Amino acid sequence: MNLAVFLDRDGVITRDPPHFAHRIDQLEIIPNSAEAIRILNENGFKVVVVSNQSGVARGYYLERDIGVFNQAMEKELKNKGAFIDAIYYCPHHPEGKIEKYRIDCDCRKPKPGMFKRAEKDLNLDLKQSFMVGDKLTDVGAGYNAGCKPILVLTGHGKDEFKKVDKMSIKPNYVSKDLYDSIKIITNRGDY
């Protein structure tokens, strides 16, 4: 079985603009994120993006916009020697404006549906895998999937960290950013 590092997209790999990242002109890789992904690749981890994209259900953009954005992100990462093994996203929201996407699904984080799909697709050992996110819903999703959740302080992470004490589910670790979290994930402190 393979080990994975699940990554939220917006706020962990890319900057999270004020109103839903979906256009290429909004694409900005967070400093050192590509380097972190490259190191994870070199250490044999499957790198899997899991992202809530409720902007589709809310009518802000289309699913194809997510694909275009993700392809541009993957190209930019590849140019820096980093590779994403798989990308999963949830376009649903229970209160969405677009009826087709207005559902209470099993893939919207903190539910573990995207993780379970990846587990089957990539032959993953979820209990030995990690989830890195900037929101407590990411932490909850990692926990619900059986992974070790890490909260990063990029994106919404600093604000979310203030709420941790009030939450029943807590991150196993808190790190400055994705690059800093690889010290925990690889069990090495020399990065």
Angle at 89 between CA 44 and CA 39, to 5 degrees: 20
Query: What is the side-by-side strand order in the sheet with 86-90?
Result: 86-90, 46-52, 4-7, 130-133, 148-152, 173-175
Nearest CA to 94 out of 110, 79, 105, 80 is that of 105
The identity of residue 64, as a single letter, is: R
Task: Catalytic residue, from 8, 16, 134, 177: name it.
Answer: 8
Instruction: Answer yes or no: 165 catalytic.
Output: no
The identity of residue 175, as a single letter, is: S
Instruction: Answer yes or no: 65 catalytic.
Output: no
Task: Catalytic residue, from 10, 65, 85, 177: name it.
Answer: 10
Question: Which of the residues are catalytic?
Answer: 8, 10
